[in-house]
Structure 1
Amino acid sequence: MATLTRITTQKKNKNRYNIYLDHGHGEDYGFSVDADVLVEYRLQKGMELDDATIRALIQTDTLHKSYTQAINYLSYRMRSEKEIRQYLDDKEVEPEHVDEIVKRLREEKLIDDQEFANSLVRTRVMTSSKGPLLVKKELIEKGVRGSEAEEALAYFPYDQQLEKATKFAEKKMKSGVKKSRRQQIQNVQQTLMQKGFSGDVIQEALSQLPKEEEDNSEWEAVVYQGEKLVRKYERKAEGYERKQKIKAALYRKGFPFDLIDRFLDEYTEE
């Protein structure tokens, strides 16, 4: 048995207390506990503590500290159960304590994978250019079940997907005016697929792209790319051979033959 001789407040953490014990050979530092544990066990000077009680106090305090860490981790944003477990594992929390903490957090409604998924989808809709397939992938990686992810995607309806995809496509087209329209379209399609939009949404978004001044911008792009090719082949080929090389290069870039021929007529010499 040990006698509790003194309780002092830690200097750097006013919510933690140092417990001093006398095992019959004078006072020594025993262990420290959080304020909640101090109150729960009603620790006070003069108490007699056996070894089993001391071990229980230390275990309870360790569990409490880990729970507090989890609460702090949750204070920044919602977390999935998998994220909480990974965080506690990284902190080297004992597996049985991890299970107990997760159970308590669930009971207190502090972790709920469905609510987490719903919130993440709403956030991505508002703040990112990701499509639903990429958002679902992110949810799965965070440990959300497929059925929960699907339910959460109800917060990303088709009309919002189309609006987001169309806005991105329009912006992408404006940034690629020096390329052929066909090449621009291919780039937009590829990027939207990488961002997680479905084929139906992509095709609908492309169909809504503005078509005014299309011919003029395409001609400007042909001239821009064509002049670069003229300079490239200026010393490498002459006459017909040079024209054919330029023609083939422009075709590979997605320009139509009528604009290619027009460029060759207006900007090259035999």
Structure 2
Amino acid sequence: TMQSSGHRFRDVEHHPLLAENDSYDSSSSEADMAERVWFIRDGCGMVCAIMTWLLVVYADFVVTFVMLLPSKDFWYSVINGVLFNCLAVLALSSHLRTMLTDPGAVPKGNATKEYMDNLQLKPGEVIYKCPKCCSIKPERAHHCSICKRCIRKMDHHCPWVNNCVGEKNQRFFVLFTMYIALISAHALVLCGFQFFSCVRGQWTECSDFSPPVTVILMIFLCLEGFLFLTFTAVMFGTQIHSICNDETEIERLKSEKPTWERRLRWEGMKSVFGGQPSLLWINPFAGFRIRRLLLRAKKGGPEFSV
């Protein structure tokens, strides 16, 4: 425990008393962080992220070149091809935005006397410092050992997106799980129709590939689709439940008693997705500015966590 003239530091790992928005005040370190692109250099996470993209590309290849292009029904191929590829683009875009968006990291090493004085706390008020990253710990923030930062409203660290899911990128993670579940379900339905068509036509003209190759490719796609659909559907439901109850997964697992005023269901949804319900809620490109991203990258370089 450290003491100053007006208030005290206390090294703890949870239950901070600092108000949620206090540490967003004029901090040069946080302003500098806001000008940088976020990326976590974690070997396992990067491998999982690359695998995610490869699996989506594989599914797109099988759907397009094995099932749709050889089909004699033109409109069946066009409608399903456009739908599947649009969902795939939305899924991968949501994945990128989840991975490259700062989840709500607290600046490292901001637990200084100067910064503490700027918070204008009452005499004797206790604030909490993370002993791992030497940062003032806002309310509902938790330390991530992989990101090596305290993350505001941290839900969990997901290796598949190589990032924490927190206050600023939870919306994109929800969209990622939703779109992956949708393309997985779509792929399974198309596989069912394709198997039926191939069996009925005795495997003669159902694919440009040989029957054994076609069967192997479709079996792998069915396994991938089933696993991804199960996993992402559960994650999507869990995330929506957490948002509606204003409780992160970490808070639920730790059975932390809320010291904050919980938002109502729709208030929680509007807080995460922004504003009233609209198509922007399901648009991963909303708020994205390529020019601003390039300027940030040029000015400050990527914000790495090592």
TM band (smaller chain): under 0.3
TM-score for the superposition, normalised by structure 2? 0.22
Larger relative contact order (CA 8 Å, sep ≥ 6) = 2
Q: Larger Cα Rg: Structure 1 or Structure 2?
A: 1
Question: Which structure has the highest helix share of the two?
Answer: 1
TM-score for the superposition, normalised by structure 1? 0.24
